[in-house]
């Protein structure tokens, strides 16, 4: 097990990794549950008299969502009702000067760690621990806190390097998510277990379906991952996957995996029977998958598919959701996501809703968080934990605690 912040003496200088990776509109981060949960963690640390320097990432290099954390500092400050100083630097002179000036009860946000060369790509913790980034920042702090459960599946410097060179603790979000998601692995369900997978991070979900054993009886697919399976099943989905950023040019590998999943687990997969798109009049329009056209952008599963998925949810003993079935931020394309969430909320099944953005739909559409077993702010990390795959960011905290 790892050490937690309750093991810390008060009044320390802390380097805290959180995950406020958020949707971006017009170059600005959009508020979501991640800010709220991490603000609660930071508030607890400030109340204990700590000085808190925060590290976080946003987007991936080369993508539109890869932006500075300046707007994140404002959102975090609103949740904390106190100023969050932002410094557009990670471990250079400006960052070091700002961290040195930091006093007890104050919080500072460093620039997007993915703008610093040492952060990426995935490497062994020992290699990251020796990087200039880790070696420069670590001596400036008394301890490192990792609260970023939702990024704990990434072997990046800010997540795995620091615990090897300084005292390391799990933050409150990390601890709560770890406890909830580990408990799921130990549970046995009598009735069917259903996994609803959607969203944009198909590359995280394809291996999950491939790895899953008998614990999941059926998958309901939407979002990009749903389109990819429809396409592999011979439908003309209007999504030119080879040309997108999603697969880091490894599309052929994913295509082969999808083919083999269809062969092996085909009977467990429920694909959409219809999809929705924006009609010429700007209204929601729908078509059966037999009528899909390559040049159309499909933005939600259709009403018939949403009802089918909701029926499967109602018959289930446990439901795990990762990723939205459509672009729910636009009310016209929220039908799939909201119909499934409502079905979960109405039934007594055990449920977990995960995905940084998906959990936002619960608040947006007036659903009550208490009607869900656990609402996770994690996406890829949570589905990996469900399939029993270790999370490297947690492993290093455990190794550090045992040393």
**What residues form the annotated binding site?**
19-21, 34, 57-60, 114, 154, 329, 355-358
| CA quadruple 4, 109, 322, 214: dihedral, nearest 10 | -40
Nearest CB to ligand 3PG, comparing residues 6 and 244: 244
Ordered DSSP codes for 286-297? EEEGGG--TTPP
Distance of alpha carbon 403 from alpha carbon 400, whole angstroms: 5
Instruction: Supply the Cα-derived Rg of the chain in whole angstroms.
Output: 21
Residue 141 CB, nearest approach to ligand 3PG (Å)? 22
Helix (H) or strand (E) holding 28: strand 28-29
Binding residues for ligand 3PG, rule: CB under 6 A, are 19, 21, 60, 150-151, 154, 201, 356, 379-380
Neighbours of 250 (CB within 10 A): 10
Residue 402 CB, nearest approach to ligand 3PG (Å)? 26
Nearest CB to ligand 3PG, comparing residues 199 and 326: 199
Residue 246 CB, nearest approach to ligand 3PG (Å)? 11
Helix then strand then coil, % of the chain, to nearest 5: 45, 15, 40
Residue 382 CB, nearest approach to ligand 3PG (Å)? 9
In the sheet that holds 218-221, the strands lie side by side as 269-270, 218-221, 193-197, 318-322, 350-354, 374-375
Q: Are 326 and 223 in contact (CB under 8 A)?
A: yes
Residue 355 CB, nearest approach to ligand 3PG (Å)? 8
Nearest CB to ligand 3PG, comparing residues 17 and 235: 17
Nearest CB to ligand 3PG, comparing residues 19 and 118: 19
Nearest CB to ligand 3PG, comparing residues 151 and 299: 151
Helix (H) or strand (E) holding 220: strand 218-221
Q: How far is CA 174 from the centre of its chain?
A: 13
Q: Which residue ranges are tagged as binding site for (2R)-3-phosphoglycerate? A: 34, 114, 154
Residue 154 CB, nearest approach to ligand 3PG (Å)? 5
Distance of alpha carbon 275 from alpha carbon 305, whole angstroms: 8
Residue number of the CB atom closest to ligand 3PG: 21
Nearest CB to ligand 3PG, comparing residues 326 and 379: 379
């Amino acid at each position: 097990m790892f050490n937690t912040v309750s093991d810390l003496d008060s009044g320390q200088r802390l380097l805290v990794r959180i995950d406020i990776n958020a949707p971006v509109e017009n170059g600005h981060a959009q508020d979501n549950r991640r800010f709220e949960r991490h603000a609660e963690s930071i508030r607890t640390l400030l109340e204990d008299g700590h000085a808190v320097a925060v590290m976080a990432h946003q987007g991936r290099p080369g993508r539109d969502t890869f932006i500075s954390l300046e707007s994140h500092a404002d959102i975090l400050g609103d949740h904390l009702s106190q100023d969050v100083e932002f410094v557009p630097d990670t471990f250079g002179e400006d960052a070091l000067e700002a961290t040195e000036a930091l006093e007890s009860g104050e919080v500072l946000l460093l620039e997007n760690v993915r703008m610093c060369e040492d952060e990426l790509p995935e490497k062994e913790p020992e290699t990251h621990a020796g990087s200039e980034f880790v070696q420069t920042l670590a001596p400036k702090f008394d301890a490192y806190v990792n609260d970023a459960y939702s990024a704990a599946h990434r072997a990046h410097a800010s997540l795995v390097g620091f615990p090897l060179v300084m005292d390391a603790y799990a933050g409150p979000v990390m601890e709560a998510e770890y406890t909830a998601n580990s408990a799921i692995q130990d549970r046995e369900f009598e009735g069917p277990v259903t996994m609803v997978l959607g969203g944009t991070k198909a590359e995280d979900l394809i291996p999950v379906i491939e790895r899953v054993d008998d614990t999941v009886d059926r998958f309901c697919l939407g979002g990009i991952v749903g389109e990819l399976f429809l396409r592999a099943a011979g439908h003309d989905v209007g999504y030119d996957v080879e040309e997108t950023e999603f697969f880091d040019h490894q599309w052929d590998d994913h295509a082969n995996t999808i083919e083999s999943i269809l062969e092996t687990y085909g009977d467990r997969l429920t694909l959409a029977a219809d999809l929705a798109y924006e009609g010429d009049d700007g209204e929601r329009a729908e078509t059966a998958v037999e009528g899909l056209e390559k040049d159309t952008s499909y933005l939600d599963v259709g009403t018939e598919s949403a009802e089918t998925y909701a029926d499967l949810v109602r018959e289930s003993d446990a439901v795990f959701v990762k990723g939205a079935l459509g672009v729910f931020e636009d009310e016209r394309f929220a039908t799939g996501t909201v119909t499934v969430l409502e079905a979960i909320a109405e039934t007594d099944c055990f449920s977990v809703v995960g995905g940084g953005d998906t959990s936002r739909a619960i608040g947006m559409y007036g659903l009550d968080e208490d009607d869900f077993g656990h609402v996770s702010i994690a996406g890829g990390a949570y589905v990996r934990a469900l399939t029993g795959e270790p999370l490297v960011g947690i492993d290093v905290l455990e190794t550090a605690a045992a040393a």
